[in-house]
Chains A and B, each alone.
Chain A
Amino acid sequence: MIRDVALGQYMPGKGIVHKADPRLKILVLIAFIVLIFCSFNFAALGVVTAAVAVVIALSDIPLKYYFKSLKVIIFIVVITSVINMFYGTGEPIFRFWILKITMSGIYRAIFVTVRIILLILVSSCLTFTTSPTDLTDAIERLMKPLKFFHVKVHEIAMMMTIALRFVPTLLEETDKIMSAQKARGADMESGGLIKKVRALTPILIPLFVSAFRRAYELAMAMECRCYQGGDGRTRMKSLHLQKHDFFCILFTAAILAGVVLCDVFIAAAI
Chain B
Amino acid sequence: MSIIEVKDLCFTYGIKTPFEKKAVDSLNLSINEGEIIGLIGHTGSGKSTFVQMLNGLIRPTSGQVFLNGEDIWAKPKEIRKIRFKVGMVFQYPEYQLFDETVYDDIAFGPKNMGLSGEKIDATVKKAAKFSGLSEKLLKKSPFDLSGGEKRRAAIAGVIAMDPDVLVLDEPTAGLDPKGKSLLLSQINSYHRERNNTVIIVSHSMEDIAQIADRVLVMNKGRLEMFDTPKKIFAQAEKLESMGLRVPQITKIMISLKEKGYDVSDGVLTVEQAFCEIVSLLKKEGKI
List the interface of chain A (C-beta within 8 A of B).
11-12, 173, 176-177, 179-187, 201-203, 205-206, 209-210
Contact = CB atoms under 8 A, between A and B. Distances in A.
A183 B98 contact: no
Interface of B: 18, 52, 55, 57, 80, 83-84, 87-88, 90, 93, 95-99, 108-109, 112-113, 143, 157-158, 161
Contacts of B158: 183-184
A181 B18 contact: no
6 closest Cβ pairs, A-B complex: A185-B112, A180-B96, A205-B98, A183-B88, A184-B109, A180-B90
Contacts of A202: 96, 98-99, 108
A184 B55 CA distance: 11
Nearest to B158: A184
A177 B99 CA distance: 14
Given A176-B90, A209-B143, A183 B95 contact: no
B161 A181 contact: no
Given A177-B95, A202-B98, A183 B87 contact: yes
The interface residues of chain A, by DSSP majority, are classed as helix
A173 B95 CA distance: 9
A185 B113 contact: yes
Please indicate which of the listed interface residues A11, A186, A210 has the most CB atoms of chain B within 10 Å of its own CB. A186
A186 B112 contact: yes
B98 A184 contact: no
Nearest to B106: A184
A201 B97 CA distance: 11
B112 A187 contact: yes
Contacts of B57: 179, 182-183
Please indicate which of the listed interface residues A183, A201, A205 has the most CB atoms of chain B within 10 Å of its own CB. A183
Nearest to B163: A183
The interface residues of chain B, by DSSP majority, are classed as helix
Contacts of B18: 11-12
A178 B110 CA distance: 17
Nearest to A12: B18
Contacts of A210: 95
11 contacts: A173-B95, A176-B90, A177-B96, A181-B108, A182-B57, A185-B84, A185-B161, A186-B108, A187-B112, A202-B96, A203-B98
Given A179-B90, A201-B98, A202-B108, A185 B52 contact: no
A210 B80 CA distance: 26
A198 to B, nearest CB: 12
Given A173-B95, A185-B161, A206-B96, 10 more contacts: A180-B93, A182-B83, A184-B96, A184-B157, A185-B83, A185-B108, A187-B80, A187-B112, A202-B96, A202-B99
B112 A184 contact: yes
A83 B88 CA distance: 50
A202 B113 CA distance: 16
B96 A181 contact: yes
A161 B83 CA distance: 39
A243 B113 CA distance: 65
A201 B98 CA distance: 8
A184 B97 contact: no
Contacts of A179: 52, 57, 90
A127 to B, nearest CB: 16
A209 B145 CA distance: 14
B119 to A, nearest CB: 15
A186 B111 CA distance: 9
Nearest to B113: A185
Nearest to B109: A184
Given A206-B95, A206-B97, A183 B55 contact: yes
Contacts of A186: 108, 112
Contacts of B90: 176, 179-180, 183
A12 B18 CA distance: 9
Contacts of A182: 57, 83
Nearest to A201: B98
